[in-house]
C-alpha cells in the first residue's frame, strides 16, 4: 500500500483534525458531571493528553470559568510558571483584549534571589508575579513549589488571582499542592492525583480564551 495516499487524506487539515478529535472525545467520555460551561475546558484537556482519566479528574471552583473569561476580557495578564506553558498558550486571542502571557522563572533577578535564599526559582517567580499580574490568570503546569507558594500568598492576603489553573505533574508534592488549591474559595481549575502538566494547563487557558472570543 502506498503510505502517502494511505495517511495523507486523513491528516492534512488542522481544523478537521481538531473537529474529529472533539467528536471522538464526546462519544467516548460518556456520562459526566461537568456543567455546560465547564465541559469545553475538560474536552480540550482530554484533547491535549488523550487521557480520559486525567480529564475526569478535573475540578472547578464554581466561579472558575466565569472569572477566567472575565480576566481575559479585561486584558489581565496570564502568568505561566514555566516557558513550556508560556509558548503553548495562544497569544492572538489574549492580545485582542490587551492581554498576554508572562513568565518570570528565568528573569535574572528571580534567579539571583532564589540563589540567595536557597530556594526554587519557581517560588521566587510567584512572589514577583503577584506584583506584576494582580487579578490575572496563574497557569501552573509544572512546578508544585510555585503552586504551594501561590496558595500561601493567597492565604496571607497578598495575592488575588482572577483564576488559578493549577495542574502540576509529578511524584513529590504535585498531588498535595492540588489538594490544597481545591480547598481554597477562590476561582481555580485543578485536577486530582499526580498527573497534569504543561499541555493540559495550556489547554485549559486556551479553552477559556476561545470562550472569551466567542462572547464577541
In this complex, which beta carbon is closest to a second copy, that of residue 3 or of residue 116?
3
Cell, residue 211: 470562550
In this complex, which beta carbon is closest to a second copy, that of residue 69 or of residue 105?
105
Cα atoms found within 13 Å of the Cα of residue 211, Cβ hemisphere only: 22
In this complex, which beta carbon is closest to a second copy, that of residue 69 or of residue 129?
129
Interface residue with a second copy among 118, 185, 214, 216 (CB under 8 A) is 118
Q: What are phi and psi of 209, to 5 degrees?
A: -70, -30
Residues 57-96 that bind a second copy (CB under 8 A): 83-84, 86-88
CB–CB of 166/190 below 8 Å?
yes
Distance of CA 119 to the CA centre of its chain: 24
**CB 128 to a second copy: min, Å:** 17
> How many angstroms separate the CA atoms of 63 and 79, rounded?
19
The yes or no reply on residue 196 touching a second copy (CB under 8 A) is yes
- Which segments of the chain are extended strands (E)? 58-60, 78-80, 101-103, 137-140, 163-166, 188-191
In this complex, which beta carbon is closest to a second copy, that of residue 172 or of residue 215?
172
Is 47 annotated in the active site? yes
# binding residues, a second copy (CB under 8 A): 51
What counts of helices (H) and strands (E) characterise the chain?
A: 12, 6
Place of cell 471552583: 61
> How many angstroms separate the CA atoms of 123 and 134, rounded?
17
Contact pattern from residue 9 through residue 48 relative to a second copy, giving x for each residue in contact according to CB under 8 A and a dash for the rest: -xxxxx--x--xx--xx---------------------xx
In this complex, which beta carbon is closest to a second copy, that of residue 69 or of residue 186?
186
Cell, residue 185: 474559595
Residues 138-177 that bind a second copy (CB under 8 A): 144-145, 148, 151-152, 155, 169-174, 176-177
Cell, residue 65: 470559568
Residues of the shown chain interacting with a second copy in the complex, contacts defined by CB under 8 A: 3-4, 7-8, 10-14, 17, 20-21, 24-25, 47-51, 83-84, 86-88, 118-120, 123, 144-145, 148, 151-152, 155, 169-174, 176-177, 180, 193-199, 202
Which residues have a catalytic role annotated?
47
Amino acid at each position: 500500500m502506498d503510505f502517502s495516499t494511505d495517511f495523507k487524506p486523513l491528516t492534512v487539515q488542522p481544523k478537521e483534525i481538531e473537529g474529529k478529535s472533539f467528536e471522538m472525545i464526546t462519544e467516548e467520555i460518556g456520562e459526566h458531571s461537568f456543567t455546560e460551561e465547564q465541559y469545553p475546558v475538560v474536552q480540550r484537556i482530554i484533547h491535549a493528553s488523550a487521557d480520559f482519566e486525567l480529564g475526569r479528574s478535573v475540578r472547578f471552583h464554581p466561579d472558575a470559568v466565569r472569572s477566567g473569561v472575565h480576566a481575559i476580557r479585561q486584558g489581565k495578564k496570564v502568568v505561566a510558571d514555566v516557558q513550556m506553558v508560556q509558548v503553548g498558550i495562544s497569544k492572538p486571542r489574549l492580545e485582542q483584549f490587551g492581554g498576554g502571557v508572562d513568565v518570570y522563572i528565568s528573569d535574572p533577578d528571580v534567579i539571583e534571589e532564589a540563589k540567595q535564599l536557597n530556594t526554587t526559582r519557581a517560588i521566587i517567580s510567584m512572589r514577583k508575579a503577584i506584583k506584576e499580574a494582580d487579578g490575572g490568570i496563574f497557569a501552573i503546569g509544572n512546578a508544585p513549589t510555585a503552586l504551594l507558594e501561590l496558595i500561601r500568598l493567597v492565604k496571607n492576603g497578598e495575592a488575588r488571582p482572577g483564576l488559578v489553573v493549577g495542574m502540576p505533574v509529578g511524584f513529590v508534592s504535585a498531588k498535595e499542592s492540588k489538594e490544597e488549591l481545591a480547598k481554597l474559595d477562590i476561582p481555580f481549575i485543578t485536577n486530582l492525583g499526580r498527573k497534569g502538566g504543561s499541555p493540559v494547563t495550556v489547554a485549559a487557558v486556551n479553552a477559556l480564551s476561545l470562550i472569551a472570543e466567542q462572547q464577541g
